[in-house]
């Protein structure tokens, strides 16, 4: 696999997630830069196919993937989300749905899901910078070829 300099992160606008998302991408995807598509509750909007946000995300994602020759897109969702205040297990289901939806668009070669819950699934405890990758949950999903 060729190494690219950019990945695209699709996630919440919560400022506590910017550095952990960048660190995760650098460590796990080997990229230098991360373009962000960030809006409050964006993962829920993608998972539930809520318009017009989904169309805007798809258009912006296409622009970034083509403009920066991106191979990796990742959904980065987190606990204590103001834009999507649901239980943590619901977040995990939404990540799975969002990953599958974005992969079905056939825009990027690889789509990953990352859950960031410094307090674990209970949601209790201090906030710290340790994202947990759930990308392995989606390894059985066929990876689509990028649309030219």
In this structure, how many other beta carbons lie within 10 angstroms of the beta carbon of residue 40? 13
Give residue-wise pLDDT tens across range 2-15. 566 999 999 989 88
* Strand intervals (E) in 33-109: 33-38, 72-78
The predicted structure's pLDDT at residue 74:
93
The predicted structure's pLDDT at residue 33:
95
Q: Closest Cα partner for 99 from 67, 51, 61? A: 61
Q: What are phi and psi of 145, to 5 degrees?
A: -80, 150
The predicted structure's pLDDT at residue 87:
87
pTM as predicted? 0.80
Q: What domains does the chain contain, in order, with CATH numbers?
A: 6-138 (3.40.1050.10)
Give residue-wise pLDDT tens across range 33-46. 999 999 999 999 99
The predicted structure's pLDDT at residue 32:
94
Q: What are phi and psi of 123, to 5 degrees?
A: 75, 10
Do 25 and 56 contact (CB within 8 A), yes or no? no
Compute the distance between CA of residue 25 and CA of residue 23 in angstroms, rounded to an integer: 5
Listed as ranges, residues in the chain with pLDDT below 50 are: 1, 121-123, 126-148
């Amino acid at each position: 696999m060729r190494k690219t300099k950019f990945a695209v992160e699709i996630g919440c606008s919560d400022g506590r997630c910017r550095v952990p998302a960048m660190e995760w991408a650098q460590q796990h995807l080997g990229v230098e830069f991360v373009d962000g598509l960030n809006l409050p509750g964006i993962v829920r909007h993608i998972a539930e196919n809520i318009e017009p946000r989904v169309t805007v995300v798809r258009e912006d994602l296409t622009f970034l993937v083509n403009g920066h020759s991106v191979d990796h897109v990742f959904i980065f969702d987190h606990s204590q989300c103001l834009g999507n205040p649901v239980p943590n297990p619901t977040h995990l289901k939404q990540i799975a749905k969002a990953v599958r939806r974005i992969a079905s668009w056939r825009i990027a070669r690889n789509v990953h899901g990352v859950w960031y819950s410094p307090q674990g699934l209970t949601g209790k405890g201090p906030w710290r910078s340790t994202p947990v990758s759930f990308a392995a949950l989606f390894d059985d999903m066929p990876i689509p070829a990028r649309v030219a």
